[in-house]
Copies of this chain bind each other. A is one copy, B any other.
Amino acid sequence: MDDYQKLLGIGRECRHLSAISMLLEWDQETYMPKEGINPRSEQIELIEGLHHKTKTGSRFESALAKLIAIDTGEIVGKDLTGEQIAALRVWRLEYLDDLKLPNAFVKESAKTVSKAKNAWIEAKQKNNYATFAPHLKKVVEQARKKADYLGYKEHPYDALLGIHEPGMTARRLRELFAELKPFLTQMTSRLSNRKVDTSCLRGPYPLEKQEKFCHFILKTIGVDPDSTRLDMSEHPFCIGLHPHDVRITMHASTTNLFMAPSAVLHEGGHALYDLGLPAEHFGSPLAECSSIGIHESQSRFFETYIGQGLPFWKHAYPELQKTFPSQLGNTPLDTFYEAINDVRPSLIRVFSDEVSYILHVILRFEIELGFLEGSIDVDDLPRIWNEKMEESLGITPPTDAEGCLQDVHWSCGYFGYFPTYALGNIYAGQIFVALKKALPDWAEHVAQGNLAPIVTYLRENIHKHGHRYSALELIERLSGDTLTSKPYMDYLTEKYR
């Protein structure tokens, strides 16, 4: 076996361990008996420990060092393909990053976060921010420390951002958001003056039939049922155990017809990416996503650009009417289309429309920067959150539970993560423009339920490359342009003219 194959073997072990950890979480969210939670936490901790040990261990290091010099990054292996060289460069950087965090710090953080998450659940339930604040303070402190361990050139935020979106910076985000914030605020405000009849979404719609329709959606967008599952969970998610085993979950409401389809379109987009990663490279960066933002671009692409578009519903709406003849038989497509595209400031990010969505992200980005820079005190969060909500969305949460306590992310120590949700939309805008150029008749295909050309385009231009290219490289290769939010803004402008 040659040196690259040996390294790939250890990479596969690492990737399987992370897949097993994901499966343990999937099981926890779908089928695990209630009392299984304590042993489950221990199991996940054990597997993650083994994963960390394997990917930072001497066996991995010496296998890597035979092919690429770990200190300089010089390629020292022989007869390597271009792909393999790209993989080695990513592997090396990830390995160096993995070494930066001392074991004691990782363990300490895990404990803090575990307590913070429990405190957050209780604080949210009881609408009592004060009990969460001391935990959040510790999490913020650890985020600052983490940034120092990881290192950065300009801003500690860059270090945290880089975990999820390698190469992205706070500076670049500030520029993007400076342009987007006034644009989206004004657009949301203008559109929310429209009167839109959304009563057709309120049903009630029995859950079983919704689930059946969601399978129809997955089939339509080309998610392979032999390599995928769809289950119910409290919050929808998608995990890729392997390009041949991807799990999607959904959550449905009897009184909000669009909740489930929109979740399934979103997670289905993630699934198509995971399914499109090249299985032959499983275990190497060539079979990993390029970045979380690119992953999110695939989910938002199917959720909004496709899934809130008229062509898609020309095909899917008759099926939806067939599924719910008594509720929708007399509702024309236009009414349904208007209802699912109602733009209206809302308190909760995850259910917000595609215009105001990024405003929620910007708010969190500003607060995270303030936390890291020390200009925002954790104790002041409720006030600042509410002020910022009023400023950008024109509404004030009636409770902290619906305000600064709504997201789980901070209790998990996920600082620098939220911007990937915004980047997903922005990347998707650039991808959509490139795709329309390559497939001028995309809309006719979609209206006939034929999404294969679109999936093929995404597979060829994004999925199959894995992490061979960075997010920005992928976008440039595909669009010929650098990162820009113009296509995203143009798309919204045209759609909501």
Contact = CB atoms under 8 A, between A and B. Distances in A.
Interface of A: 12-13, 16-17, 19-20, 23-24, 27, 31-36, 38-40, 42-43, 46-47, 50, 224-229, 231, 241-242, 244-246, 282
A16 B13 CA distance: 18
Contact of A241 (B39, B229, B242): B39
A47 B20 contact: yes
Contacts of A16: 39, 42-43, 46
A24 B35 CA distance: 19
Contacts of A34: 226-227
Contacts of A246: 33
A20 B39 contact: no
B35 A245 contact: yes
Contacts of A50: 50
Stoichiometry (number of copies): 2
Q: Which 9 A-B pairs have the closest CB atoms?
A: A36-B245, A39-B242, A35-B244, A35-B227, A34-B226, A35-B226, A16-B43, A33-B227, A16-B46
Contact of A40 (B12, B42, B245): B245
A226 B23 CA distance: 20
Nearest to A39: B242
Given A32-B245, A244-B35, A23 B27 contact: yes
A187 to B, nearest CB: 41
17 contacts: A12-B42, A19-B43, A23-B27, A27-B27, A31-B31, A31-B231, A32-B245, A33-B228, A33-B229, A33-B244, A33-B246, A34-B226, A36-B241, A39-B241, A39-B244, A39-B282, A50-B50
Contact of A226 (B20, B33, B40, B244): B33
A231 to B, nearest CB: 8
Contacts of A226: 33-35
Contacts of A47: 20
A242 to B, nearest CB: 4
Contact of A23 (B23, B225, B245): B23
A126 to B, nearest CB: 24
A33 B47 CA distance: 23
A31 B247 CA distance: 10
Nearest to A30: B31
Nearest to A275: B35
In this complex, the member of A13, A23, A225, A229 whose beta carbon has the largest number of chain B beta carbons within 10 angstroms is A23
A215 to B, nearest CB: 13
A16 B48 CA distance: 13
In this complex, the member of A16, A224, A225 whose beta carbon has the largest number of chain B beta carbons within 10 angstroms is A16
Contact of A39 (B13, B36, B228, B245): B245
In this complex, the member of A23, A36, A224 whose beta carbon has the largest number of chain B beta carbons within 10 angstroms is A36
Given A24-B23, A31-B31, A242 B17 contact: no
Contacts of A242: 36, 39
Nearest to A242: B39
Nearest to A49: B13
B282 A36 contact: no
A33 B225 contact: yes
A36 B23 CA distance: 12
A46 B13 contact: yes
A227 B36 CA distance: 6
Contacts of A228: 33
Contacts of A32: 229, 245
A362 B86 CA distance: 61
A136 to B, nearest CB: 31
Contacts of A225: 33
Contacts of A19: 39, 43
A284 to B, nearest CB: 15
